[in-house]
């Protein structure tokens, strides 16, 4: 029996896959995206959060079966709406044993995995085989920029994306659109190139940067240091996706 | 929306029609009241004279482009009693609100169909055989009222001709004198009757099951080709506009609290789904008009299709705070249990806010009082907590206190008096045949009591159970001291009570079961109690304005709420509680047996407007609504909100003139509300999901 660390559960998530969903957020992430709006998702350890002067613990340790039980409470509405459970983070793939156990315990409810794709291919493969839908985040196709703004190289991510495109597994691509970082025509064109023709691809969700992203940093004693102008709205280019008949939606 | 409607809407939004309002010195009204007094007239005679006086003062205004006329220019309706007379009446009688017939649902359909001439014949026949002096006076008052109305309609018809609007002139020559034949006539006839009710100082005049009694006229016009769909829709939109012309003149606690509730959908007298094309048209018209009136209520049941929930959700998305949904499968059996006939129960509507009443035959007063659950807990803990050996023992004392409260409360409403209303009597069933003014009652004369602060009370009791009886973290004495100190110097305790204790709205039986027990007790405490009119008492889940009133009198509470902090409006989690989310909320709030507490009062939820982004959000929220009903929910109202927008609107009211919010049982313009109501809404929204 493995245990894992999560930091939140959101009910009635309507933007994380089909139907009404419950989304669980794993705590801990190998990436350090400069714009991350959930800085408490980065560390794998419990942290203290101070909200309006009140200290509270951030991070809950769970056994996989107990977490599944919590997530499945009230599952009727998830089923009725053809929704399910979305596993997000942090990076769920960074707690693989716990994740695999959780997935087994959640079945047969529809499961979506929201991932950065940053994990060894062996793990990516075994996990994606067990879920119904993958929400695959793509930040940047350029390895140098990627390293600079997320702290890691994008080689593993692109390999896993390539693998995903070769399967029949249903997936959405999700692009957090950050002004001055990745909101270029060129980046969109390259992403479109990578995913065109993928059998399992349903759509591309564009998630424009929101100004309030920095709000949580002081709560965990961190400083928000954006490398970009937070007041500028990101540019939206959908043409590259239209070109390949890929459905795209700005969220 | 057609250009014509667009222009009319623009006039209303910019209040251009207000320029026709007359400036009448208030001395004119007091003088009129004084004359009534000096003439020594009966209350019935005075009511008739008042209507005549108001309508004589009125100056008909007809716009050349309109198809449905009638607009108020007299800003005020005078009293029929002087201040001195009123205080004498109040010394002898229980007076509900303003002492007028209000908050009921007239049977417009019958008079629209028959016309006032036929109704006059009916009254004359009864008058001919009546012997009792009072009864004869009542019939004469109704006949006089009909004459006053018809001569006023004639003046309107003349004005219509004068401005060249022959269409309206011709319609007014026919209705409401004769039964309506076309959809346009039926709408105009309604408009006249509704207008006259307000001019008679009746208020919270609800609209009722509009899609039922208006459907035959629409259908006839569509079938005969007299109107096509677009023309009918345009007329309907114009009709919706009329509810916003005079509404700022109507009495209410706050602007917007005017009771113009329209009920759509629901089952027919046989229990079959009765929604029709007009149901759908009304939802669409409300969506296009984006106005606070009429306030849309949608009756749903297990057979209501997903499309109807989706149409409703489109309205919710728009931020109007309606539709308010009610569940036939719970409300109808609940009303039957309270003694309503099955056929009447199936015809239920809502009063001004959400109380369930029966059109035509209900003279219920569904908002006559309110149980403040949190007060009961506070009172009981002061004398019984220390000596209670177990939580169950303490809970029994709380229940006893509710029973004692019910004994006292239900004795408060003796010798009730209301001003008579010949006009309303004409529109209610049975008044003419019985020769009795509606102010003396009807088939149903039940009184309803709201229940406020259920979540605050349940959370308080859960905290007591856990920290006093189970964990023994503090004693009864310490808790009382902390409450009395408003938690000053007891911050550690406050933290525990406020943030760590179980809260209603998290699908946690620990606290939800307590709420369930409290509500059951409230209902039980009223069983067998009758009022002086032979009616029963109904327990409810609404708050009306009591959530503001009760909160002011109440000190700090054991759930970690400090003195002065608001209670939640209606049936909702405490404003103090961070819940897991809307799914847990509906699961918690569907647990009590809501059939027993069927006076009305919706579960009220705030959902952040970002939820509505994305193409499929409508069907998701619609499913959510349906799910609450499937679990046994009785009534639900969802607000789509954005806190930043509300804060900005407080700072820059001029930029948000048309920002609409839901208050308790009605929607209003945010910037026109008093600040305490604005603040309450902002606090509610902070917990939005």
User: For residue range B89-137, what is the model confidence (pLDDT) as tens digits?
Assistant: 999 999 999 999 999 999 999 999 999 999 999 999 999 999 999 999 9
| Mean pLDDT confidence for B606-628 | 88
Q: What is the pLDDT of residue B157?
A: 98
Q: What is the pLDDT of residue B676?
A: 80
Could you count the other beta carbons within 10 Å of the beta carbon of residue B626? 25
CB within 8 Å: B620 and A81: yes
CB within 8 Å: B613 and A73: no
Q: What is the pLDDT of residue B21?
A: 97
- d(CA B185, CA B175) in angstroms, rounded, equals 6
CA B371 to each of CA A203, B42, B540, B595: distance values in angstroms, whole numbers, following the listed order: 53, 36, 9, 18
Shortest CA gap A22–chain B (Å): 9
Task: Find out whether A154 and A190 touch, Cβ atoms under 8 Å.
Answer: no
Q: Which residues are paired to B267 by β-bridges? A: B273
Of A12, A76, A83, the CB nearest to B582: A12
Q: What is the pLDDT of residue B415?
A: 96
Contacts 24+ apart (CB under 8 A), A211-214: A212/A37, A213/A35, A213/A36, A213/A37, A214/A37
- Residues from chain A that touch B499, judged by Cβ atoms under 8 A, are 54, 56
Q: Is pLDDT of B77 > 90?
A: yes
CB within 8 Å: A15 and B689: no
| Mean pLDDT confidence for A137-155 | 96
Q: Compute, in degrees rounded to 10, the torsion defined by CA atoms B172, B177, B179, B182.
A: 0
Q: What is the pLDDT of residue B670?
A: 85
Q: Which of B22-31, B39-48, B221-230, B318-327 has the lowest mean pLDDT?
A: B318-327
Q: Is pLDDT of B641 > 90?
A: no
Beta strands in B435-477 (DSSP E): 447-452
Q: Which residues, 6+ apart, have CB-to-CB distance to B650 below 8 Å?
A: B675, B678, B682
Coil/strand/helix, residue A112: strand
| Mean pLDDT confidence for A92-116 | 98
Q: Is pLDDT of B253 > 80?
A: no
- d(CA B28, CA B21) in angstroms, rounded, equals 16
Shortest CA gap A208–chain B (Å): 13
Q: Is pLDDT of A183 > 60?
A: yes
A-contacting residues in B 592-621 (Cβ below 8 Å): 611, 613-617, 619-621
User: For residue range B137-170, what is the model confidence (pLDDT) as tens digits?
Assistant: 999 999 999 999 999 999 999 999 999 999 999 9
* A110-115 and A84-88 strand pairing: parallel
- Residues from chain A that touch B615, judged by Cβ atoms under 8 A, are 249
Q: What is the pLDDT of residue B82?
A: 97
B-contacting residues in A 67-96 (Cβ below 8 Å): 73-74, 76-77, 80-81, 83
Burial status of residue B128 (CB atoms within 10 A of its CB: 0-12, 13-18, 19 or more): exposed
- d(CA A231, CA A189) in angstroms, rounded, equals 25
User: For residue range B476-522, what is the model confidence (pLDDT) as tens digits?
Assistant: 999 999 999 999 999 999 999 999 999 999 999 999 999 999 999 99
Give the angle subtended at the CA of B248 by the CAs of B242 and B249, to the nearest 5°: 95
Beta strands in B472-571 (DSSP E): 537-539
Q: Is pLDDT of B579 > 60?
A: yes
Q: What is the pLDDT of residue B321?
A: 84
Query: Does a cis peptide bond (omega within 30 degrees of 0) precede residue B306?
Result: no
CA A120 to each of CA A91, A98, A156, A207, B246: distance values in angstroms, whole numbers, following the listed order: 13, 16, 7, 26, 69
Q: What is the pLDDT of residue B65?
A: 95
Q: Which residues, 6+ apart, have CB-to-CB distance to B23 below 8 Å?
A: B75
- d(CA B143, CA B137) in angstroms, rounded, equals 10
Task: Find out whether B85 and B182 touch, Cβ atoms under 8 Å.
Answer: no
Can you give the length of chain A in residues?
A: 251
Coil/strand/helix, residue A6: strand
Q: Compute, in degrees rounded to 10, the torsion defined by CA atoms A25, A26, A28, A34.
A: -30
- d(CA B547, CA B551) in angstroms, rounded, equals 6
pLDDT category of residue B688 using cuts at 50, 70 and 90: low
- d(CA A134, CA A87) in angstroms, rounded, equals 10
Phi and psi, residue A51, nearest 5°: -115, 120
CA B162 to each of CA B63, B68, B101, B103, B167: distance values in angstroms, whole numbers, following the listed order: 11, 16, 36, 37, 12
| Mean pLDDT confidence for B601-615 | 84
Q: What is the pLDDT of residue B671?
A: 82
Closest CA to B504 of B541, B461, B540: B461
Average per-residue pLDDT for chain B: 94
| Mean pLDDT confidence for A171-182 | 96
Cα B276 from chain centroid (whole Å): 24
- d(CA A164, CA B150) in angstroms, rounded, equals 77
| Mean pLDDT confidence for B348-360 | 96
| Mean pLDDT confidence for B256-279 | 95
Which pTM does this prediction carry? 0.93
pLDDT category of residue B217 using cuts at 50, 70 and 90: very high
pLDDT category of residue B567 using cuts at 50, 70 and 90: confident
Task: Give the orientation angle of helix B546-553 with respect to helix B675-686, to 10 degrees.
Answer: 90
Give the angle subtended at the CA of B509 by the CAs of B507 and B512, to the nearest 5°: 80
Q: Does B683 touch chain A (CB under 8 A)?
A: no
* A60-63 and A54-58 strand pairing: unpaired
Best interface-test mutation with B: which of A25, A55, A74, A204 has the largest number of B CBs within 10 A? A74
Task: Find out whether B327 and B634 touch, Cβ atoms under 8 Å.
Answer: yes
CB within 8 Å: B507 and A73: yes
Task: Give the orientation angle of helix A121-130 with respect to helix A155-165, to 10 degrees.
Answer: 40
| Mean pLDDT confidence for B73-102 | 97
Closest CA to B207 of B218, B221, B195: B195
Residue in chain A lying closest to B629 (CA):
A77
Task: Find out whether B550 and B592 touch, Cβ atoms under 8 Å.
Answer: no
- Helix residue ranges, H only, A93-227: 96-106, 121-130, 143-150, 155-165, 185-195
| Mean pLDDT confidence for B353-363 | 97
- d(CA B648, CA B669) in angstroms, rounded, equals 14
Q: What is the pLDDT of residue B686?
A: 65
- Residues from chain A that touch B582, judged by Cβ atoms under 8 A, are 11-12
Q: What is the pLDDT of residue B546?
A: 77
Domain ranges of chain B: 205-212+225-348+602-689, 365-595
In terms of pLDDT, which residue wins out, A111 or B668? A111
Size of interface A-B (CB pairs under 8 A): 55
- d(CA B283, CA B301) in angstroms, rounded, equals 17
Task: Find out whether B504 and B512 touch, Cβ atoms under 8 Å.
Answer: yes
CB within 8 Å: B620 and A77: no
Shortest CA gap A143–chain B (Å): 31
């Amino acid at each position: 029996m493995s245990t894992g660390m999560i930091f939140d559960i959101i009910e009635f998530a309507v933007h994380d896959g089909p139907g009404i969903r419950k989304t669980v957020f794993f705590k801990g992430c190998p990436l350090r995206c400069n714009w991350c709006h959930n800085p408490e998702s980065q560390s794998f350890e419990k942290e203290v959060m101070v909200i309006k002067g009140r200290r509270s613990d951030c991070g809950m340790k769970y056994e996989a079966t107990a977490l599944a039980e919590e997530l499945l409470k009230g599952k009727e509405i998830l089923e009725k709406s053809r929704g399910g459970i979305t596993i997000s983070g942090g990076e769920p793939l960074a707690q693989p044993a716990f994740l695999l156990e959780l997935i087994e315990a959640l079945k047969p409810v529809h499961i979506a995995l929201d991932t950065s794709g940053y994990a060894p291919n062996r793990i990516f493969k075994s996990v994606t085989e067990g879920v119904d839908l993958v929400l695959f985040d793509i930040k940047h196709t350029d390895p140098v920029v990627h390293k600079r703004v997320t702290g890691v190289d994008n080689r593993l991510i692109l390999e896993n994306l390539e693998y995903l495109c070769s399967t029949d597994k249903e997936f959405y691509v999700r692009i957090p659109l950050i002004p001055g970082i990745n909101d270029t025509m060129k980046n969109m064109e390259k992403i479109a190139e990578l995913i065109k023709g993928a059998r399992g691809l349903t759509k591309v969700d564009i998630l424009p940067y929101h100004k309030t992203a920095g709000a949580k940093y002081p709560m965990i004693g961190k400083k928000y240091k954006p490398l970009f102008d937070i007041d500028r709205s990101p540019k939206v280019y959908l043409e590259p996706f239209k070109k390949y008949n890929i459905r795209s939606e700005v969220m | 929306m057609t250009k014509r409607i667009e222009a009319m809407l623009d006039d209303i939004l910019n209040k251009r029609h207000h320029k026709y309002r007359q400036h009448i010195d208030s001395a004119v009204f007091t003088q009129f009241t004084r004359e009534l007094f000096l003439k020594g007239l009966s209350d019935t005679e005075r009511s008739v004279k008042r209507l005549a006086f108001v309508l004589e003062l009125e100056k008909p205004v007809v716009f050349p482009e309109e198809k449905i006329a009638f607009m108020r220019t007299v800003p005020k309706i005078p009293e029929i009693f002087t201040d001195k007379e009123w205080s004498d009446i109040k010394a002898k009688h229980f007076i509900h609100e303003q002492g007028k017939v209000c908050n009921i649902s007239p049977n417009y359909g019958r008079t629209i169909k028959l016309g006032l001439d036929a109704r006059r014949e009916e009254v004359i026949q009864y008058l001919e055989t009546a012997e009792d002096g009072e009864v004869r006076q009542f019939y004469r008052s109704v006949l006089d009222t009909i004459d006053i109305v018809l001569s006023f309609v004639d003046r309107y018809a003349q004005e219509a001709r004068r401005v060249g609007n022959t269409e309206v002139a011709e319609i007014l020559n026919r209705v409401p004198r004769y039964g309506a034949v076309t959809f346009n006539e039926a709408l105009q006839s309604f408009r006249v009757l509704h207008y006259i009710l307000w001019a008679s100082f009746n208020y919270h005049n609800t609209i009722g099951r509009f899609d039922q009694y208006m459907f035959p006229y629409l259908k006839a016009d569509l079938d005969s080709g007299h109107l096509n769909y677009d023309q009918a829709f345009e007329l309907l939109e114009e009709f919706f506009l009329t509810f916003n012309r005079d509404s700022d003149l109507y009495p209410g606690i706050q602007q917007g609290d005017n009771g113009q509730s329209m009920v759509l959908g629901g089952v027919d007298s046989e229990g079959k789904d009765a929604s029709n094309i007009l149901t759908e048209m009304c939802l669409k018209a409300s969506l296009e008009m984006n106005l606070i009136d009429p306030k849309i209520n949608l009756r749903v049941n297990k057979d209501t299709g997903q499309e109807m929930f989706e149409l409703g959700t489109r309205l919710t998305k728009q931020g109007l705070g309606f539709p308010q949904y009610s569940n036939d499968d719970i409300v109808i059996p609940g009303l039957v249990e309270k003694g309503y006939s099955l056929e009447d129960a199936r015809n239920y509507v809502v009063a001004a806010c959400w109380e369930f009443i029966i059109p035509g035959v209900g003279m219920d007063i569904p908002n006559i009082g309110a149980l403040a659950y949190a007060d009961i807990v506070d009172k009981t803990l002061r004398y019984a907590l220390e000596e209670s050996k177990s939580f169950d023992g303490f809970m029994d004392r709380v229940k006893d206190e509710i029973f004692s409260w019910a004994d006292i409360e239900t004795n408060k409403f003796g010798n009730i008096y209301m001003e008579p209303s010949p006009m309303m009597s004409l529109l209610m069933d049975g008044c003419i045949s019985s020769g009795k003014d509606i102010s003396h009652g009807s088939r149903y004369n039940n009184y309803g009591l709201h229940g406020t602060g259920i979540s605050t009370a349940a959370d308080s009791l859960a905290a007591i159970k856990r920290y006093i009886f189970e964990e023994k973290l503090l004693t009864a004495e310490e808790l009382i001291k902390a409450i009395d100190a408003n938690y000053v110097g007891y911050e550690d305790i406050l933290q525990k009570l406020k943030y760590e204790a179980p809260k209603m709205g998290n699908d946690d039986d620990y606290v939800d079961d307590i709420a369930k027990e409290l509500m059951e007790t409230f209902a039980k405490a009223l069983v067998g109690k009758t009022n002086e009119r032979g009616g029963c008492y109904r327990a409810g889940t609404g708050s009306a304005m009591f959530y503001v009133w009760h909160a002011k009198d109440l000190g700090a509470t054991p759930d970690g709420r400090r003195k002065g902090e608001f209670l939640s409006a209606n049936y909702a989690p405490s404003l103090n509680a961070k819940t897991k989310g809307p799914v847990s909320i509906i699961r918690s709030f569907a647990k009590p047996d809501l059939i027993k507490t069927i006076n009305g009062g919706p579960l009220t939820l705030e959902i952040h407007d970002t939820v509505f982004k994305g193409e499929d959000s409508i069907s998701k929220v619609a499913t959510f609504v349906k799910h609450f009903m499937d679990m046994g929910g009785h009534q639900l109202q969802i607000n789509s909100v954005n806190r930043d927008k509300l804060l900005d609107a407080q700072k820059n009211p001029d930029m948000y003139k048309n920002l609409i919010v839901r208050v308790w049982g009605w929607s209003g313009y945010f910037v026109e509300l008093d600040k305490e109501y604005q603040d309450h809404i902002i606090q509610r929204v902070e917990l939005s999901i």
